[in-house]
Every structure is written in C-alpha cells, then in structure tokens.
C-alpha cells in the first residue's frame, strides 16, 4: 500500500486544530498543531466565499502552521462548526428516494430560508433507523455553496487535494470508533462542547442514531444539557443505560467529568482520548496529546481516506 498522509482541520473558539495521519502499512498519527486564527468560522462562516477578503490571511495562517509543523500531507479535510451550517431533524418518509427525496429536502430548506434559493445550498441527509431497520427520522444537513467555494479556493492555494467536508460532531465519530472499540456493541453518548452550545448524539453499533443541540454558556449549562439529553433518551425508550459518556471539544474541566460520573452513574464518563489506540510518532507534541479531546474532530477526519 502506498503511504499517504492526510490532514484534518477543525475550529474551536477562534482557533484552528490540525491533525496529520499517515496511512500505509499501519495508521500513525504524525502531527498535531493548533493556533489562533483571524477567521472564526463559527461567526462568519455563512458569509464566506471564494473572493472573501480574509481568504489570503487564512491561507497564510495555514501555510505558516503547516511549515512550522513540517506536515507532508497531500490531502486535507475540514470539520465545520455547526453554527454556519443548517442542521435539522425531519420526519422520514420511506417511499421518498432519489429525485423526490431531493425535492423534499429543497422544499424544507425554502421553508427556513424563504429568500434564498435552495440551489444555493449543498443538501444531504442521513436516515436514522429503528432497531428493525425502518427509517424513523432524516438527519438533514445543508452547507452554502459559497462557503464550500471558500474551502475549495483555500485548498487550491495550499496546493492540497480536498478529501472531505463534514460537521464537527460527526467528524468525531471516526475517532470514537477507532479508539473505543470495546464499547461499540452498547449505546454510547457523545457530547461536543463548543462556545455557546453542546452537541449531543447517540452512537449504537458504530452508527449515529440521534442528534440534538443545546444552548450553553457555562459549565453548569453543559451539565444541564447532558442531563436533558439523557432524560430525552429515556423518554424515547432507549432502555439500556449508555455504556459510556464521552466529551470532546473545548473547556472541559476535570471536576465536571467527576460530577457527571457521580450524577449519571455512568462509570465510563470521560473526555475522549483521541490517541488512546492510535499509534503515534514521537514527534507529536506531548502537551497537545494530553488534551487530545480538542483534536477529536481533526483526528477523525484525518483517519478517513477516499
């Protein structure tokens, strides 16, 4: 197998997180890096386009970071924060497929953005299914084409190949599956802590089967959001207590983990160790590995190949 390196890039609190993973005879983490950015995707993502005035500055920031870290990747993927992206849960009609499904998704978009043509968005969906395989809800995501144009231009300026554009919370799924295989047969609850919100999702048998987002502005709010989501799961007849409660993102104090472990009764309540089972080069900064939960989305993307 030809050796190739992949970069995953994410955004938290106006900072950029980057992970580089080498895919060859084995998978190996070859680099982690982080820096402040003049461009906060959470704040301005919806306004970005291929001619945005901050594009050259953003490219220079990435070039400087990549050069300092001696990254050698040929491919790059981006984990977008949910703020500038449209995410919605809608009823699933099993009969809708192909063109009819696309028209239904476009109609949904026009209800939320009546002044913006649906053709200005890239729209996708994923069916959440019941235990017998029947679709119960559609998870719908749409990204403005102009923002994708910005990302494509940045990638071209970096002389890299674009691999994947995904959402932060869902990029982390691959990190979870890679590092915690022993709990995959049981329900796992995944929480992404970011500025102003907590993203919550249920992962069962290696697949995400639910997603919700809660406003949050403090540690107390984070804890409330987690309890609200666990209560919501009980009301949805998720009978089995989650085998693990895993957090990623930013600003996750250890005392919060200890309190949640006591209050929920879930012993496997912890911040994600994104390097737990990932072979790692000795060149990766130990200080960044110690807080690898910040890099969960970036690592998850870098683990994915075409």
Closest of 148, 162, 167, 145 to residue 10, by C-alpha? 167
Mind listing the pLDDT tens digit for each residue in 211-228? 999 999 888 899 999 999
Angle between helices 55-69 and 145-157 (to 10 degrees): 50
pLDDT band at 156 (very low <50, low <70, confident <90, very high): very high
Return d(Cα 85, Cα 187) in angstroms, integer: 27
Residue 91 has pLDDT above 90, yes or no: no
Tokens of 203: 């992962």
Same domain membership, residue 198 and residue 157? no
pLDDT of residue 219: 85
As a whole number, mean pLDDT of residues 107-111 equals 89
pLDDT of residue 238: 67
Same domain membership, residue 201 and residue 166? no
Same domain membership, residue 279 and residue 151? yes
Domain that holds residue 212: 182-271
Residue 35 has pLDDT above 80, yes or no: yes
pLDDT of residue 179: 94
Question: How high does pLDDT run on average in the chain?
Answer: 91
- Cβ-count burial 83-105 (b if 16+ within 10 Å, e if not): bbbbbbeeebeeebeeeebeeeb
Neighbours of 112 (CB within 10 A): 10
Are 231 and 212 within 8 A, CB to CB?
no
Same domain membership, residue 217 and residue 265? yes
Tokens of 244: 């693990």
pLDDT band at 277 (very low <50, low <70, confident <90, very high): very high
Residue 89 has pLDDT above 80, yes or no: yes
Same domain membership, residue 281 and residue 253? no
Same domain membership, residue 266 and residue 223? yes
Same domain membership, residue 258 and residue 199? yes
pLDDT band at 184 (very low <50, low <70, confident <90, very high): confident
Same domain membership, residue 36 and residue 100? no
The side-by-side arrangement of strands in the sheet containing 121-129 is: 86-91, 135-144, 121-129
Same domain membership, residue 199 and residue 289? no
DSSP state of 280: B
pLDDT band at 128 (very low <50, low <70, confident <90, very high): confident
Same domain membership, residue 30 and residue 129? no
- 126 versus 215: the higher-pLDDT residue is 215
Mind listing the pLDDT tens digit for each residue in 226-276? 999 999 988 876 667 788 999 999 878 889 999 999 999 999 999 999 999
Q: How many domains does the chain have?
A: 3
Same domain membership, residue 287 and residue 199? no
What CATH number has the domain bearing residue 50?
3.30.420.40
pTM: 0.93
Max mean pLDDT among 80-89, 108-117, 121-130, 168-177 falls in 168-177
Instruction: Collect all residues with Cβ–Cβ distance below 8 Å to 8 and sequence separation of at least 6.
Output: 18, 19, 21, 76, 77, 79, 171, 297, 298, 299, 300, 301, 302, 303
pLDDT of residue 50: 96
CA distances from 62 to 18, 73, 82, 166, 219 (A): 9, 13, 21, 19, 31
As a whole number, mean pLDDT of residues 136-142 equals 84
Closest of 139, 142, 160 to residue 211, by C-alpha? 139
Return d(Cα 140, Cα 267) in angstroms, integer: 33
Q: What residues form DSSP beta bridges with 193?
A: 198, 249
Query: What percentage of the chain has pLDDT greater than the value 90?
Result: 63
Same domain membership, residue 93 and residue 44? no
Residue 193 has pLDDT above 80, yes or no: yes
């Amino acid at each position: 197998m030809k050796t190739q390196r992949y970069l995953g890039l994410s955004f938290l609190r106006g900072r950029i997180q980057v992970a580089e993973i080498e895919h060859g005879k084995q998978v190996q983490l070859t680099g982690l890096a982080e820096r402040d950015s003049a461009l906060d995707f959470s704040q301005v993502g919806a306004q970005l386009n291929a001619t945005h005035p901050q594009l050259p500055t953003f490219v220079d920031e990435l070039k400087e970071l990549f050069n300092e870290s001696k990254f050698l990747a040929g491919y790059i993927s981006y984990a977008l924060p949910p703020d500038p992206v449209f995410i919605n849960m809608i009823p699933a009609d099993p009969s809708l497929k192909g063109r009819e499904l696309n028209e239904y998704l476009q109609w949904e978009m026009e209800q939320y953005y009546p002044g913006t043509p649906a053709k200005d968005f890239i729209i996708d969906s994923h069916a959440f299914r019941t235990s017998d395989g029947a679709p119960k809800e559609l998870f719908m995501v749409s990204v403005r084409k102009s923002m994708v144009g910005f990302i494509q231009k940045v990638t071209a300026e970096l002389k890299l190949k674009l691999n994947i554009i995904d959402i932060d919370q869902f990029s982390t799924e691959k990190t979870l599956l890679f590092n915690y295989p022993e709990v995959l047969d049981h329900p796992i609850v995944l929480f992404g802590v970011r500025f102003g919100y907590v993203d919550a999702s249920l992962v069962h048998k290696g697949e995400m089967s639910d997603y919700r987002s809660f406003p949050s502005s403090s540690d107390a709010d984070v804890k409330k959001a987690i309890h609200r989501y666990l209560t919501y799961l009980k009301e949805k007849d998720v009978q089995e207590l989650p085998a693990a409660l895993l957090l990623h993102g930013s600003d996750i104090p250890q005392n919060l983990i200890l309190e949640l472990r006591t209050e929920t009764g879930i012993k496997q309540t912890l911040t994600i160790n994104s390097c737990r089972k990932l072979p790692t080069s000795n060149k990766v900064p130990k200080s960044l590995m110690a807080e690898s939960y910040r890099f969960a989305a970036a690592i998850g993307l870098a683990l994915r190949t075409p």
